[in-house]
Every structure is written in C-alpha cells, then in structure tokens.
Structure 1
Amino acid sequence: MRGASRVCVIEDHTLFAESLQIALELKGHDVRRVPLPEDLHTATSLLPAVMKHQPHVLLLDLDLGNADGTRLIEPVARAGTAVVVLTGSTDRARWGQCVRHGARKVMEKTAPLNEILATIRLIGEGRPVMTVDEREELVRHWQEERAAVSELLDRLNRLTVREAEVLGALMNGQQVRQIAEVSVVSEATVRTQVKSILAKLEVSSQIGAVGLAHHAGWTAPAPKH
C-alpha cells in the first residue's frame, strides 16, 4: 500500500499496544511490537530488538515498568528512525526532554487514532510533524525544569552528612522516634537536625522536604554503621 511504513511499538500496556497494532496494520503498515522482559530495568537494552526491524517509525511509551523510555530516544533517532512518543504523562518539561533528545513528536495516549496515523504518514512523506514554535516551547519547559532542579540540588548539598541521612530516613517513611532509636540518640537531637534540614531546604514541613528531595531525584547516602 502506498505510504506504508515499518513501525515498531514499545508499550507495556498490552491492550493499548494490540489495538494500536491492529489499527496500523489495517492501514497497510508493517508493525512489530518489541516484547518487554519482566526484569526490564534499562530501556537501552531494547535497542537491538528495535534495530533488528529497521523501522521507519518507533512509537514509544516513556514509562516501561522500572525503565525510562526516554533513554531510548537518542540512540534510536541517531540510527535514523523517527521516534514518536505516545505517553500518559502531561509533564511538558518531560515532553521537552524527549524533543531535546531527538523525538519527532510527543503525543498523549488519548490522542485520536487519526492524529497518530497522520503523524506516521507525514513522517513517511518527509514532512514536519511539529512546528518550530512548538518544539522550542517544549524545550524551554525542559530547560526551566532543569534549572529548577539544579537549584533544589544546591539546597540539598547544603546538608551535612548526618542531615542527609536523616532526610533519607524521612523519605523511607521513618518517624523521628524511629530515627532516634536506630541512631541511638535522643528524639530532641533528631528534631534539631530536622529543623536544620527544613531551614536549609527552605521548606516548612517534613512532607515538603521529602517532596523536594523526590522532585530533585536526590538519593540519600547510605547510613554509616
């Protein structure tokens, strides 16, 4: 069929993936779904399976169990395959990250099927699927988010080793009393440390401190024994 493309699909929701495959095949596209191993931890491990089919287009989900599909965008795009991200995420900064890494377009999974089909058709015709303004806006969201996370990490780096350990314990759901018992110190000592953490992170509550650390992607140091 004229305009048919080789399409790979990486998607961990079976029903959505199967429905997409059927719809694309009905339009004459040669579709291959890349199987996802249960123990998938690194999306880039899927690269050989994708390249085996030499697809024109890769339809890629971002959240693949424990793996981040974003990491697959750059190597696939570098190999000459057009990457179209289909995601349930509405995070515009994350969309901008995808575009920055080489995705041709990012779409919500709730997008009409005709829009997905039209995107594949336009790619096959060598035509753009996003305007320059759309791309620049998404990349700007990503850059602003990177700057915000960098500022959060600067605050986290103000913590002493002990304060970082206490924050890590809070992130694991431990209460002040539990932290004191494990550390063999008084609750008053831990409360003083928590107060210092809140001041350095410029937040007003333990929940705020934990949320800030998670948002920054911060990992607490391993407790010393």
Structure 2
Amino acid sequence: MRTQGARICIVDDHALFAESLQIALELEGHEVRRIPLPKALHAAATLLPTVLRYKPDIMLLDLDLGNADGAALIEPTTRAGTAVVVVTGSTDRARWGLCMRYGARKVLPKTGPLNDILATIRRISEGRTVTTAEERDELVRFWQDERREVQELQERLARLTPRESAVLGMLMEGQQVRDIATRSTVSEATVRTQVKSILSKLEVTSQLAAVGLAHHAGWNAPQSS
C-alpha cells in the first residue's frame, strides 16, 4: 500500500458526514471517491461491483445503509485486498465483533473525533497495526456471546405450538388479549391460557418481555395459511 495518497472509497448514506470526511481526507492528500447509493437500497452486496471497480486501498464503511446492512460488503472487499474501516453510529459491540470476524481492520464510532479516522487511515497506509489482537478478540467474544444468547432464545421460541406462535405474533403487532380473542373467535379465557403457556415456555413473566425476546431473537410469526 502507498505510504501516502491512499485510494479511499466511502460507503455511507449520510451525505453531510460523507462529504465532510471526503474533504478532510483529500486535504491529507488522499484520492477519495464516495460510492453512490440508490434511493432504495435493500442489499449492500449490490454495491460490491462499483467498489471493486474503483480498486480502493481502504474502504470507509457505514453499517446502516438505509434498509441494507453494510457488513455484507466487508468479507468480499477484504478478500479483494482492500482494508476495511467501519465508521458507524451503532454502539452494539456484538455487531462490531461480527465486523472484525468478517475481516474489518478497525471499527470506529461516528461520535468519535475526526482525527481518529484520519490517524487510522495514516497507520493503515504506513502498514501499521490499527487494532490489537486483544481488542479484536474481545469484540469477537461479544459477537459470540450474542450469537449463543440468540440461539438459546430461538430454542425457547421453537417450543411454542403453532397456535401459541400465532398468538405471540399478534402480541408483537400490539394487539391485546381481547382483540386476539375476537380475531380468533375464541374466548378471552382461552387466549389468556395460551399467553400463560407462552410466558412459561419463553421463561419470561410478562407479555412485554415475551415480545422483546422475540424481537431480540429476530423471530417472525408464521404466516397464516
């Protein structure tokens, strides 16, 4: 990699942030290109051909690109020889750990000083380390712990009967027991019994906790036939 004037691409859907970053990097002598994002971006992987055509030394990547997850770009871009630096508004350390596992060289918060980004670019351009093995391992452990937790929650959710799954899905929509009973043409007592069973199987004590657990596990109610 060149010792100065690195070829950098920015993938970020916050125009003001990206433009400011581009100006700062160009003042440091880097060649910078912002990757254009379509208005309706649903899969970050669709940006990969554009990124690879530019052949960047370094990619500065936001994780939240509209409806798309920027993390999908990390592994293929890294394989192509680009150093990936994630600059994100997310404070989820497990998510940071996933980025490191995919091959990101560094994860920086958008709330940090601009000089942190500039210093990271300098160090990478000079072939120096930007994340210690200990820092990387700690972040990856956050991701591993989160993955184990989600797996355990999904196992609890798998205990639900089809009817209980449907009731939980309606609770996630914000419906009350009375609404569910009316919609399902059963008594409120029946629905309350079903809710009680859901709470027991999910090992929680309230409907709100059950809904939160389902969201955290990324669970979706089965579609009604």
TM-score grouping bracket, smaller chain normalisation: over 0.9
Which residue identity does 2:87 align to in structure 1? L
**By how many angstroms is 1:197 displaced?**
0.5
Deviations 1:7-47 (A, max 9, x none): 11111111111100111111111111111111111111110
Residues in 2 aligned to 1:175 and 1:223: alpha-carbon distance in whole angstroms: 18
SS at match of 1:12: coil
| Residue 30 (structure 2) aligns with | 29
Which residue identity does 1:121 align to in structure 2? R
Structure 1 residue 45 and structure 2 residue 46: aligned?
yes
Deviations 1:123-180 (A, max 9, x none): 1122111001000100111111111111111100000111111111111111212211
SS at match of 2:10: strand
**By how many angstroms is 1:2 displaced?**
5.6
Aligned length: 224
Residues in 2 aligned to 1:196 and 1:137: alpha-carbon distance in whole angstroms: 38
Residues in 1 aligned to 2:221 and 2:84: alpha-carbon distance in whole angstroms: 34
Superposition pairs of residues 1-225 of structure 1, within 5 angstroms: 3-224=4-225
Residues in 2 aligned to 1:176 and 1:118: alpha-carbon distance in whole angstroms: 56
Residues in 1 aligned to 2:73 and 2:65: alpha-carbon distance in whole angstroms: 11
Residues in 1 aligned to 2:116 and 2:197: alpha-carbon distance in whole angstroms: 52
* Unmatched segments (≥5 aa) in structure 1: none
Which residue identity does 1:54 align to in structure 2? K
Alpha-carbon RMSD across the aligned residues, in angstroms, is 1.2
Identity among equivalent positions (%) equals 69
Which residue identity does 2:174 align to in structure 1? G
SS at match of 2:197: helix
TM-score (normalised: structure 1)? 0.97
